Amino acid sequence: MERKEFLKKTLALCGLSLIPAGIMESCNKQTFAGPANVNFTLDLSNAANAPLNTVGGAVLSNGVIVIRSSGTTYNALSATCTHAGCTVGYNATSGTIICPCHGGTYNAATGAVLTGPPPSPLTKYTVAQSGHILTIT
């Protein structure tokens, strides 16, 4: 057997059988999670957070999109698309979270996948309001 042929056959074997199935499986199931250990506050009197004083407004902070969904309700979702890790954005017109990379869309209240390739929902966080301070955890 010539060296070139030997290398060809060896590499073929490596590609087909020597990579553990678990590794191959985990590559196919890779998903991008949102930030962990989230714990921050947003001051609604701060100009940077002014969009949250209007229903339909949203602010991106600490990798989390915070959306004012009603007069008294806020939703907080990871800004990291679970498909390939792109930063998603809130579209107030459609009321959905949209990924600019491959067009995945998510429910802006729950983070559930609506359309496209994302394999799992966006991580949802808790929002508590005390006066003009929102605490996201």
The residues of the shown chain that bind ligand FES, judged by CB under 6 A, are 81, 83-84, 86, 99, 101-102, 104, 116-118
Q: Under a CB-based contact definition with an 8 Å cutoff, are residues 105 and 77 in contact? A: no
Contact between 132 and 49 (Cβ < 8 Å): no
DSSP letter for each residue of 79-105: SB-TTT-PBPEEETTTTEEE-TTT--E
Residue 82 CB, nearest approach to ligand FES (Å): 7
Residue nearer to ligand FES on the CB measure, 42 or 122: 122
Q: Which is nearer to ligand FES, 38 or 114 (CB)?
A: 114
- Alpha helices (H) along 1-137: 3-13, 21-28
- Which residue, 57 or 117, has its beta carbon nearer to ligand FES? 117
If DSSP codes are grouped into helix, strand and coil, which group holds residue 115?
strand
CB of 78 to ligand FES, least distance (A): 12
Alpha-carbon distance 71 to 85, whole Å?
31
Quote the least distance from Cβ 102 to ligand FES, whole Å. Answer: 3
For ligand FES, give the closer residue by CB, 66 or 97: 97
Q: How far is the CB of 107 from ligand FES (least distance, A)?
A: 15
